[in-house]
Amino acid sequence: MALNQIRESPSLGFIDWTLRGIGQVVFQNNPWSGLVILLGILFNSWIYAAICVVGVLASTLTAIMLKADRGLIRDGLFGFNGALVALSLIAFTSENFQTGAIPSPAMFVYLVCGAALSTMAFASIATLLGPHKVAPLTMPFVLIGWLFLFAILKFDAIDAGPMAKPVSPDQFSYVEPIVLPTWYMGIGASIGQIFFQDNWITGYIILVGIAIHSRIGAGMCLLGAIVGTAVAAIFGGPEGAIRDGLFGYNAALTAMALGGFFLVFTWRSFLYAIFGAAVSGWLWASVAIFLKPIGMPVLTSTFVIVTWLMLIGQYAFKALVPVPPAEATSPEDNLRRHAGRG
């Protein structure tokens, strides 16, 4: 009740929607999750925390101006891609990837426009996938991120620092041995990298934020990060990339999406999600190599590709119990609703 009143209030409502937008990056339609995640980002860098809010605001205000569905806006669904677009544009143009840099005025206009375009891209991809009951995921961000990152390098008015962050496994040494810190730092960083935070402690704070709303979600996120990291370790991926969480962030997202959120949580969908996480780990390397000649980062493209490949045909497999995006609230709710029906 009290929370619903906040949502309806003109002044406080906006704060609620914004925090939900941050939470939605990791499928959490919950302002407290969003707040903890934002604090986690703040722990790493105040610049990124501010940019994250700017991104959510830009894309959500665009949705309001275009008179999009109020329910979707309130659930933060127009915000999370905007947040990621803004974060990625700062992350890959800053001298220091870890802390980010304050954008120039030209860059600021540019990233606000990118975040705004993500709102239209979200509506378009949702329209295309609507008949198949599959969500756009972070594809709007991946698409806009790639398109806007490329152009940046060609305009004098935007001072793009050297891409400080290696974007491909090639750029890491293979001789470094895998040690204990590789594991706990790599797994934490995997979760941090979802928000471009190269900080393993931030990763674990984000995990706490997820757990506030959904234990299953947090569990799958952690497990996905572990699987992605383990696959890379077993198959001999470079230690530096593993420790930076690069093999794990797509795997963590895939595990959350398939393990309870868009499929009712059963032991079959659990195995399905683990399989998806392993594939996401492998394919991060794949897409990185594909994009390397043009110096583009993978973003969350692997997560989207694997999850779409494993969800669009979901109704063909009777072993899975699909949850349409409009009904997907949390793994726990999905389970309860399904039990009620069964």
Binding mask 156-195 for a copy of itself (x = CB under 8 A): xxx----------xx---x---------------------
Q: Which of residues 39-98 bind a copy of itself (CB under 8 A)?
A: 65-69
Scan for tokens 């234990």, then name that residue.
215
Identified binder of a copy of itself from the candidate list 154, 173, 267, 340, rule CB under 8 A = 154
Binding mask 202-241 for a copy of itself (x = CB under 8 A): ------------------------------x-xxxx----
Binding span for a copy of itself by CB under 8 A among 23-31, 189-197, 275-283, 324-332 = 275-283
Q: How far is CA 306 from the centre of its chain?
A: 14
Cβ distance to a copy of itself smaller for residue 119 or 329? 119
Alpha-carbon torsion, ordered 310, 315, 321, 327, to 10 deg: 90
* Amino acid in position 274: I
Q: Which of residues 317-336 bind a copy of itself (CB under 8 A)?
A: 317-320
Sort residue 33 into left (φ over 0), alpha (ψ -120 to 50) or beta. alpha
Cβ distance to a copy of itself smaller for residue 189 or 278? 278
For residue 57, give the H/E element and its range: helix 46-65
Identified binder of a copy of itself from the candidate list 3, 102, 151, 164, rule CB under 8 A = 151
Six token digits for residue 334: 């999905």
Is residue 312 near a copy of itself by the rule CB under 8 A? Answer: yes
Kindly give, in sequence order, each residue whose CB lies less than 8 Å from that of residue 215, ignoring residues fewer than 6 positions away. Answer: 332
263 phi and psi angles, rounded to 5 deg: -135, 135
Six token digits for residue 191: 């979760």
Kindly give, in sequence order, each residue whose CB lies less than 8 Å from that of residue 69, ignoring residues fewer than 6 positions away. Answer: none
- Tell me how far, at minimum, the Cβ of 247 lies from a copy of itself, in Å: 10
* C-alpha span between 107 and 46 (Å, rounded): 18
**Residues forming the site for a copy of itself (CB under 8 A):** 65-69, 106, 110, 113, 116-117, 120-128, 131-132, 143, 146-151, 153-158, 169-170, 174, 232, 234-237, 275, 278-279, 282-283, 285-290, 293-294, 305, 308-320
